[in-house]
Amino acid sequence: DIELVKTGTLDLGENGVANPGDVINYEFKVTNTGNVTLDTLSITDSLDIPVDFGGVTTLAPGEMVIGTASYNLTQADIDTGEVMNTAEVFGNPPDGDPNDPGDDVTDTDDHVEPIPDGADIELVKTGTLDLGENGVANPGDVINYEFKVTNTGNVTLDTLSITDSLDIPVDFGGVTTLAPGEMVIGTASYNLTQADIDTGEVMNTAEVFGNPPDGDPNDPGDDVTDTDDHVEPITPAPSIEIEKSTNGVDADAPEDAPEIAPGDTVTWTYKVTNTGNVSFA
């Protein structure tokens, strides 16, 4: 008879976070638990990794040997959250045919190596105000926003979405999935109102959402999120104009003034115009 005990140790490297290329080091402890010598010792693994027994191919009764192997993580493994594999050991007894696998004694052992999830996301929002040809803020002028979203974690994020307190649609060009380290820039625009100009700024907050592989895309509580505020200052350009007329005549020079005889009624009219870009109270 033969016994296999398989163990694994995940080496996350210096940063302590699972990344593609990090290594699982496996040990395969094989013991001859029978009463006859076993020959042509061999092992297979569902990960298709070579196992090194240091040249040992024969085990006497009670004897034990440890084989080693290593496996490099893939992004698919990290997204799955574990690496599960099965090993099977073979030993041929003295009365067996080494060319007939049916004569071997065998044992199998499974191992599941959990991979820690480090899902994270980052949002950086910027804005640029386009004042048009006159260089003065007016209703209808446009703030162009960029939303830079980066997957700063170690798992793929899906169902990417974003909300903004201005209720403006953000265009990511159809991108809904981000691999670790990947970045996408979304764009949106907003038209100024008179209220914005009077306030002197447009302040808004955006929040981005990404769903990790172990999350429920229908449960917002499973998403990783990030928020970013942006304040776009609006330069006020206050200006006012007043025109005074006497008995309906707007005279800017003495010679243009109307003649008023003693006892005539004089009516002055004042026309006040807001010629700036902010409201006056």
Do the beta carbons of residue 30 and residue 59 sit within 8 Å?
yes
Tokens encoding 139 = 């209703």
Write the DSSP symbol of residue 222.
G
Task: Tell me how crowded residue 35 is: count the other CB atoms within 10 A of its CB.
Answer: 9
**Total number of domains in the chain:** 3
Residue 170 lies inside a defined structural domain of this protein: yes
- Same domain flag for 214 and 247: no
Helix (H) / strand (E) containing 39: strand 39-45
Q: What pLDDT, on the 0 to 100 scale, is given for residue 130?
A: 96
Write the DSSP symbol of residue 178.
B
- Same domain flag for 160 and 66: no
Place of tokens 């052992």: 109
Q: What pLDDT, on the 0 to 100 scale, is given for residue 122?
A: 98
State the residue range of the domain holding 9. Answer: 2-114
Q: What pLDDT, on the 0 to 100 scale, is given for residue 8?
A: 97
- pTM of the full structure: 0.77
Task: Tell me how crowded residue 101 is: count the other CB atoms within 10 A of its CB.
Answer: 12
- Same domain flag for 65 and 139: no
Residue 127 CB burial class (10 angstroms; 0-12, 13-18, ≥19): middle
Residue 32 lies inside a defined structural domain of this protein: yes
- Residues 27-39 pLDDT 10s: 999 999 999 999 9
- Same domain flag for 66 and 161: no
Q: Rounded to the nearest 5°, which phi and psi values hold at 111?
A: -145, 135
Residue ranges of the chain with per-residue pLDDT less than 70? none
